[in-house]
Chain A
């Protein structure tokens, strides 16, 4: 039997398959083992971005959600406050326009837009190039607003410290189950538009339970980017992440300093 296609012909020599191509039964070819992650290339670029963030002490967040959940509104409010405290910058992914970047710039932060065209997610390579067009927010925070889509961005590591999934109360409480992969990949879920809760059928507790079911470790904050309700807790969450990155940078630099001093002591002997 032909091992290539499973057809029943067992004589040697060439024959043609109706569905594909002629091939030679005397030479069935070699099997080459690969065992490589399909997204290995993206992972390589993501590692490069992550190295840059580590070196420059940048806390990088990848915000994912469906279109219209309020990411840009939230980020405009967020950078307006935080830019007084440390450097901030925003990379936005959008299929067509640069409107989101303009909204962020109006709020006083550097922003660059990546137009993905038909692409439904950002990838680490594109983010790497966007970083060349931005002042790196050294010792501060980089917010990456992903393309509005709850499926595809789950797979593409951008080099961020954490994914933040934004869900608004107008979208239905079952979304964590329907888009389990992205809720499973996120460190934090922001439940936005809580000002609209009186007007929609949305069972908050059930939604939170669903989110914890697919991700036992997920942290959850509720807020309204419109009224500012709950914003303080979110801003504190970001500040804590930024401080943790700075603390890591300090211990890394101290370790480098110690080993440089040790080398000097040895060579000066």
Chain B
């Protein structure tokens, strides 16, 4: 389960930033996860619960913001919403749709004291 590795990377980024800002505690953490990214948000939440325990960010409120998937249909050329990598184009029902957004995984910001 690579969500554990992702959670550890997130903690690294959070702790590094907090230290650089001389913060003593992190109370909030916001992530931006693309709808088409290779992540289970629930699994990530669970892993963060485990990984943040005992850290500077113990008890921080974690918010995962979903960035909608987008793609360009190679049949009709339309830019369309895409919620999986294999869905047909909602406009022409064609395939394939090349993803063009919604695969990102970012730490957006933290709230510190």
Contact = CB atoms under 8 A, between A and B. Distances in A.
**Genuine A/B complex:** yes
Interface of A: 4-5, 20-21, 23-24, 27-42, 119-121, 123, 151-152, 154-156, 176-177, 180-182, 184, 210, 212-216
B2 A120 contact: yes
B47 to A, nearest CB: 12
B2 A31 contact: no
Contact of B6 (A32, A39, A182, A216): A39
Nearest to A17: B59
Contacts of B17: 32, 34
Contacts of B23: 29-30, 32
B38 A151 contact: yes
B61 A35 contact: no
A176 B95 CA distance: 14
A40 B1 contact: no
Contacts of A155: 2, 6, 38, 105
Contact of A214 (B5, B31, B59, B96): B96
A39 B84 contact: no
B96 A216 contact: yes
Interface in B1-29: 1-2, 5-6, 9-10, 12-13, 17-18, 21, 23, 27-28
Contacts, number: 117
A180 B86 contact: yes
Contacts of B9: 38-42
B99 A184 contact: yes
Contact of A180 (B5, B27, B84, B98): B84
- Pairs A-B, 10 closest by C-beta atoms: A152-B2, A180-B85, A20-B59, A181-B38, A29-B113, A216-B96, A38-B105, A21-B59, A214-B85, A34-B107
Interface residues of B, number: 39
Contacts of A39: 6, 9, 105
Given A4-B61, A39-B105, A181-B38, 18 more contacts: A20-B59, A21-B58, A27-B113, A28-B111, A30-B23, A31-B111, A32-B18, A33-B108, A34-B13, A35-B106, A36-B107, A38-B13, A38-B105, A40-B9, A42-B9, A120-B1, A184-B85, A213-B96
Which label, helix, strand, loop or mixed, suits the secondary structure of the A interface? mixed
B99 A30 contact: no
Given A151-B38, A155-B38, A177-B86, A34 B105 contact: no
Nearest to A218: B96
A12 B27 CA distance: 17
B71 to A, nearest CB: 10
20 contacts: A4-B28, A23-B113, A29-B23, A29-B112, A31-B109, A34-B17, A34-B107, A34-B109, A35-B106, A38-B6, A38-B105, A41-B9, A41-B12, A151-B38, A152-B1, A152-B2, A181-B37, A184-B85, A216-B74, A216-B96
B104 interface: yes
A200 B37 CA distance: 32
